[in-house]
Structure 1
Amino acid sequence: MVAHGRSIEELDTSLFITVSGPPGCGATTLCEQLADAIGCPYVSGGDIFRELAEDRDMSLNQLTAKADESDEIDRALDERLQQIAEKWGTASKPFILESRLAGWLAGDRADLRIWLDAPEEVRLERIDERIETEAEMRVREVSEAGRYQSYYEIDIGDRSFYDLHLNTARWSKRAVFTIVGSAIEEYDPELDEGAFRTPAMGV
């Protein structure tokens, strides 16, 4: 599946894929690889959140604190992601949506829902060179989980409806892509006996 060097062999699919996981899980790397291999666009909730921070001339930590004060920012972000999911869920074209709530927001419109994770110490090492600090990452994770529960009655720890759940610390970046790519290549809708339904989101 993976060619020599940095090139990645093409994946022929029309699946709408969601990728979710905590900071440092490897979601961005996988999405970039998949988008390159499939030749499709992808939208990252993190990028939209960063755009919101830049528009307001705030750091990620400041915007997170602002989001804690009101549901305006979270709901605007999630509404935009849900609109994107609704659009691509009926397009019959390949697309990748990446965010902590992507699987929830896309719901049964998604063809394949993926959850990536890794032990906390591994994830902390991965974000070491990012703008976001360890303290900011911890604050953001706890804050987001609380807001999801408060706004939507979502338990972010409920991963029962995901189709794939991978610990990315166990394999290389290329191997993670190979595993997911194999699942995509081998998917046959005629043999699909049914996905787990997404739990309802509270209003």
Structure 2
Amino acid sequence: MAAHDSSIEELDTTLFITVSGPPGCGATTLCERLADAIGCPYVSGGDIFRELAEDRDMSLNQLTAKAEESDEIDRALDQRLQQIAEKWGMANKPFILESRLAGWLAGDRADLRIWLDAPEEVRLDRIEDRMETEAEMRVREVSEAGRYESYYEIDIDDREFYDLHLNTARWSKRAVYTIVRQAIEEYDPELDEGAFTTPSMTV
């Protein structure tokens, strides 16, 4: 979790929130701001992937290559994330889970499921200082979508069950945070008429 930013006003909530989206969508920035404001734990799929690499004494590139060879790595990652979601889904305490499949893995345990996106050219510009090239990003997205369908029979492009779907290219980072914060502050479980049901997924 990021160090406390005194410029961010505290946010009082007990919601279990998932944030998902493709590379460069702004998920990390939003999650860090939310976790700081709420004062709650925040776990990302990237963190767990790095833990898996360390457990196996492998580099991230080596683990990524191995994930292409079999379903072992993907399933280990998703199982760990699902276990985390199950734990916090019963805790009645605030928590943020971020990964491409976070909304699917948390399912109906999550109180608020968010999907962030932006046009491809915007996302590419945002990740230009990362190790991943444009071609690698495109290949990874296609590869991941194929693996999700093959392993779990899910369509990652099915976003009907998300509660918020934001194009982060339309607003500043602060504005995206403000929009999500407003949704959290205005949420009243007594007025909630029901979320869309998350399609079933077996990890």
Structure 1 equivalent of residue 53 of structure 2: 53
Structure 2 equivalent of residue 40 of structure 1: 40
2:171 maps to 1:174? no
SS where residue 25 of structure 2 aligns? coil
Deviation readout 1:158-188 (Å, 9 max, x if unpaired)? 0000000000000000000000000000000
Q: Give the C-alpha shift of residue 139 in structure 1.
A: 1.9
Moved more, 49-58 or 143-152: 49-58
Deviation readout 1:94-142 (Å, 9 max, x if unpaired)? 0000000000000000000000000000000000011222222122111
Q: Distance in 2 between matches of 1:22 and 1:51?
A: 21
Q: Give the C-alpha shift of residue 50 in structure 1.
A: 2.7
Residue identity (%): 86
Q: Distance in 2 between matches of 1:198 and 1:173?
A: 28
SS where residue 43 of structure 1 aligns? strand
What stretches of structure 2 of length at least 5 have no aligned partner?
A: none
SS where residue 130 of structure 2 aligns? coil
Structure 1 equivalent of residue 116 of structure 2: 116
Deviation readout 1:55-99 (Å, 9 max, x if unpaired)? 443343x42331121111010000000000000000000000000
Q: Give the C-alpha shift of residue 201 in structure 1.
A: 1.7
Size of the alignment, in residue pairs?
A: 198
Moved over 3 A (4+): 53-56
Q: Distance in 2 between matches of 1:52 and 1:193?
A: 39
Q: Distance in 1 between matches of 2:21 and 2:170?
A: 15
2:81 maps to 1:81? yes
Q: Distance in 1 between matches of 2:189 and 2:60?
A: 44
CA RMSD of aligned residues (A): 1.5
Give me the TM-score of the superposition, normalised by structure 2. Answer: 0.93
Q: Give the C-alpha shift of residue 6 in structure 1.
A: 6.9
Deviation readout 1:17-74 (Å, 9 max, x if unpaired)? 00000000000000000000000011000121133335443343x4233112111101
